[in-house]
Amino acid sequence: MSKQLRLDVAQLTDVGRKRPHNEDNMAYVIPKDPQVMARKGALFIVADGMGGHAAGEVASEIAVDTVSNVYYQDDSEDIAVSLLHAIKRTNALIHQRAAENMLRSGMGTTCVAAVLRGNMVLIANVGDSRAYLVRRGQVRQVSQDHSWVEEQVRAGLLTRDQAHSHAQRNVITRSLGTQTDVEVDIFSEQLEDGDTLLLCSDGLSGYVPEEELRAIVDQYAPQESVYRLVERANENGGPDNITAVVVRVLEAGWAAPGARLPVYAGGHENEDTAILGRVPSSTLGIAPRVDDSRIPSAPLRASSGPLLSYENQLSATPALATKSKKRSRLFYPTMLLLVLLIVALIGGSVYYFLRPTVDVDQSFKNANALVNQANAEVASNPADALQKLGRAQDMIRQALNSSPSDTQHAGLTNLLQGNFATTVKTAITKYNQQFAITTLPCTNTLSTVLNNGSTNAQVDNIATIQDDKGKQFWYALGDDHNLYQVDEHNSLVNRQNFAGNSQVKMIASNGQRLLALTAPQDKANTYSLSLLAPNGGSLADKNDTLLDPQLGKDGLVPKFMTSAGGDVYVVLIAEAAQNLATILDFPINGDKLQQPKNTKIAISTSIVSVAAFPKNQLFLAYHDGSIQSYTGSQPPVSLVVQHPIATPLGVSANDFTPNMNVPTPGGLSSSFLSVPGANLLTTGMVGNTPHLFIVDGMYHRVIDLTIAPSGPAPSATPTAQPTAVTGGTGGGVASSGPPVNMELLQQYASPNLLASVKGAVADPKAPQLYLLTQNGPGSATANLLKVDVSQGTACTP
């Protein structure tokens, strides 16, 4: 009786702790029909979408659905051919859907898929979602990341530690749907009883070390493993969506008659995994990705030629007579090696004669023409110029990989390092100027480390105020729920004590006074609001107001607090009625808090941050990326922008080198403002003008807006349901009144400096914004980053 493949499977996906939406998707199919199982095996897939909510989510959903359906409908007996066909069909479908809807321009997804059949597993991947094999207490990554830093590591240009912290670590070089064709890597492994396969998105692999992955998968059954893996990624910060599929091989099956053994056909010979083939791509460049703050670019490698199917890579195994004479023990291994040698020779010969040829001179001519075209339009249309430069770079790289003559090589290199590189840098500069993007750091950008001193507290938020003489003081809220002063050495000192040793839940400031919301440890649902003023080295309590106890009895819990001018706002939400928010507006009269105005508003999704302008204007950022304005006299209304907001390129002109991929522009916003990556709002006065600052964790940027001069509002109105679009901005939440016109002043972007922003506060004295940043997931080191937000100040990177 033949052995049957038996599996234990579990899968789990989680939004994480930073992202507003989950753009990951996963699926698996284990056929119930034994004949289908024997012929096609079981399929598992993980996809990590990009392009923003309603784009990346759509792309990853298309990926898991299409790969699953097309694979089992494919008539080929070769599972590698079927899997590649399914992935290429998926790529074409996503690309078509993106072309049909301009709001989904640039949408795409990574994909890692595995087929387990008999005693074999076949793994295909595009992008940086991973496949790991855990066997006998050892873990090994089977797939290869298609990312810029991983390719630099494989080329020996970066170490693994350098890659982990590199500014370009989020740049991927391949994805499904962002170009007309795609190159797919295929790997093969033989299965053993007890093996475990882990498929995951980078939200897991990027934040849980391999040894921890191995320990969890080895110790627990799949159903518990997936929960513990996701839990561990969240404990390490959870900055991205997290997906894990764990497949335990209870019993490996027997190879079906005529089944093929894995054959080495490329890749690294010192690796156990064999790359069976790669599908060539047109390599026209990849659009920026939203989710993760990763930014795709054009592929770094040229097409590797057509895939030879299993049937072409192996000759048929000759039948052996059942009554043959007894052979030497080495006979069959010797014959197998001989067959493999013949197959390798045949495969190499076929590839040599059938490989795609590149006309180097024509490629040079075409690339040079594209560079010249880009140069001519770089001032008027830098985004289109960058697209042309990306195609030119592809042509140059393919020509350089096609054994050019010395003269041809010199010409291509001179073009790449000369006119091409100069035009790319000019295009980046013009793009940033056109869309008001400043790439940090500038020469006047200052980052200082906040020391916890002897407190052992990590900083959760910051605030600054000035006394009546104009002297400035800094305060920090620790994760121990204590309020500290920050001294001139950037150390936490002078803990502020509150009545009954109450814990500090949140802080805010209006520039002159500090507000602290506190709660006694021994009284549930009891909150006080303290108005504090600087008094030498401590804070004087000018007023302490107890929030109405009935609010707590009604299940309302304070979630957000902000202050501006003469008002303090506390936003409360009840677990039982999360479609309603209660806003308490406390007027400040001198140094006294007055009784609050109590207003209820309907909300379509959860609030993630609030901020306020003077004269009773509150801003609300929602989980779906929409941002509204509330004045208290009418329901919240949407914000609109006069001009489109573009996404940052992810690399500055000074940092660009010809060996880097040309940054590809993303989508533009619609009129109605929505920032799906928005996780923090703050406001500040620059001169006499109030500014709204939106911290976008998806694109690692700060968007600086102000109320626009009077002008016509957009003719369109938002739909009745929240909408989000690609490019990080767009969409909106329906509102009953006319929208508020906003004007974009500047964007400040940095994939490195703004990767993890926990707090933000504007300087009450100077046009400067201070951002509380964290060094990385799980890091206890907090930094205070100063950004000059004065208009007209030149930023010198």
Residue 733 Cα to chain centre, angstroms: 24
pLDDT for the residue numbered 731: 34
- Longest pairwise C-alpha distance within the chain: 107
What are the structure tokens assigned to 580, written together? Answer: 């309603």
Mean pLDDT of 115-135: 94
Q: Which two tokens stand for residue 359?
A: 């006309």
CB 605 within 8 A of CB 722: yes
In Å, how far are 531, 606, 621, 624, 679 from 583, measured between CA atoms?
18, 14, 14, 20, 20
pLDDT of 202 above 50: yes
* Residue 284 pLDDT exceeds 90: no
Tokens of 718: 């938002």
Q: Which residue has the higher pLDDT, 754 or 723?
A: 754
Neighbours of 212 (CB within 10 A): 16
Contacts of 411 (CB under 8 A, 6+ apart): 364
pLDDT band at 737 (very low <50, low <70, confident <90, very high): low
Q: For residue 420, give the DSSP letter.
A: I
CB atoms within 10 A of CB 254: 13
Q: What is the pLDDT of residue 60?
A: 92
Between CA 21 and CA 60 the distance in angstroms is 13
Is pLDDT at 17 greater than 80 in this prediction? Answer: yes
Question: Which residue has tokens 């993760």?
Answer: 292
Whole-angstrom Cα distance, residue 487 to residue 471? 13
CB–CB of 386/431 below 8 Å? yes
Q: Is 293 helix (H, G, I), strand (E, B) or coil?
A: coil
State mean pLDDT over 164-190: 81
pLDDT in tens, 149-158: 787 777 777 7
> What are the pLDDT digits (tens) for 361-396?
998 999 999 999 999 999 999 989 998 998 899 889
Task: For the chain, state the CA radius of gyration.
Answer: 29
CA–CA distance, 645 with 53 (Å, rounded to integer): 17
Residue 647 has pLDDT above 70, yes or no: yes
Cα separation, 180 vs 99, whole angstroms:
10
pLDDT(198) > 50: yes
Phi, psi of 240 (to 5 degrees): -135, 165
Q: In sequence order, which ranges of 447-547 are alpha helices (DSSP H)?
A: none
CA distances from 577 to 31, 123, 527, 570, 573 (A): 43, 46, 20, 17, 7
Residue 780: per-residue pLDDT: 65
CA distances to 38, 188, 316, 319, 583 from 257, rounded to whole Å, are: 10, 18, 11, 11, 71
| 158-167 exposure pattern, b = at least 16 Cβ within 10 A, e = fewer | beeeebeebb
**CA torsion angle 260 264 267 273 (round to 10):** 60
Burial (Cβ within 10 Å: 0-12, 13-18, ≥19) of residue 796: exposed
| Cα 296 versus chain centre, distance | 11
DSSP assigned state of 635: S
pTM: 0.59
Confidence at residue 99, expressed as pLDDT on a 0 to 100 scale? 78
Task: Find all residues with CB under 8 Å of 448, minimum gap 6, and list them.
Answer: 490, 783, 784, 786
CA terminus-to-terminus distance, the chain: 70
> How far is residue 271's CA from residue 370's CA, in Å, rounded to a whole number?
39
Residue 64 has pLDDT above 70, yes or no: yes
**702 or 633, higher pLDDT:** 702
Segment 675-679 mean pLDDT: 84
- The residue with greater pLDDT, 311 or 541, is 541
Token digits for 139?
A: 């873990």
Please name the residue that has the structure tokens 């703004």: 754
At residue 460, does pLDDT exceed 80?
yes
* Rounded (5°) CA angle 729-735-738: 90
Q: Which of 121-125, 310-314, 534-538, 710-714 is predicted least confidently?
A: 310-314
* CA–CA separation, 647 and 667 (whole Å): 7
Confidence class of residue 779 from pLDDT cuts 50, 70 and 90? low
The pLDDT assigned to 655 comes to: 87
Identify the pLDDT of residue 256. 54
Least confident of 125-134, 200-209, 256-265, 646-655: 256-265
Residue of 192, 95, 110 whose CA lies nearest to 145 = 110
Cα 248 to Cα 223: distance, rounded to the nearest angstrom: 10
Q: Mark out the alpha helices in 155-260 (DSSP H runs).
A: 160-165, 202-205, 210-219, 222-235
Q: Which pLDDT score, from 0 to 100, does residue 274 have?
A: 33
The mean per-residue pLDDT over the stretch 738-747 comes to: 91
Structure tokens at 736: 């009953």
Q: List, for residues 414-449, the tens digit of each pLDDT value.
A: 999 999 999 999 999 999 999 999 999 887 788 899
**CA-to-CA distance for 563 and 683, rounded, in angstroms?**
9
621-635 per-residue burial string, b: 16 or more CB within 10 A, e: under 16: bbbbbbbbbbeeeee
Q: What is the pLDDT of residue 301?
A: 27
Measured between alpha carbons, how far is 696 from 749 in angstroms, rounded to an integer?
9
- Chain centre to alpha carbon of residue 37: 36
Token pair for 153: 């590591």
pLDDT at 537: 66
Q: How confident is the model at residue 335 (pLDDT cuts 50, 70, 90)?
A: confident
* pLDDT at 39 exceeding the cut of 60: yes
Rounded to an integer, the average pLDDT of 4-21 is 89
pLDDT at position 168 is: 60
In DSSP terms, 515 is beta-bridged to 508, 531
Q: Give the pairing type, strands 185-190 and 120-126.
A: antiparallel
| 635 prior amide bond cis, ω within 30 | no
* Cβ pair 588, 529 in contact under 8 A: no
pLDDT band at 127 (very low <50, low <70, confident <90, very high): very high
Phi–psi pair at 245, nearest 5 degrees? -125, 120
Q: Which of 77-81, 171-175, 354-358 has the highest mean pLDDT?
A: 77-81
Average pLDDT of the chain to the nearest whole number: 80
CA distance 587 to 15: 38
Instruction: Report the pLDDT value the prediction gives residue 349, as an integer from 0 to 100.
Output: 56
Nearest to 99 by CA among 349, 366, 284: 284
- Per-residue pLDDT, averaged over 95-114, amounts to 82
Of the listed ranges 170-174, 355-359, 435-439, the one predicted with least confidence: 355-359
Return the bridge partners of 127, or none: none
Q: Find residue 593's DSSP bridge partners.
A: 588
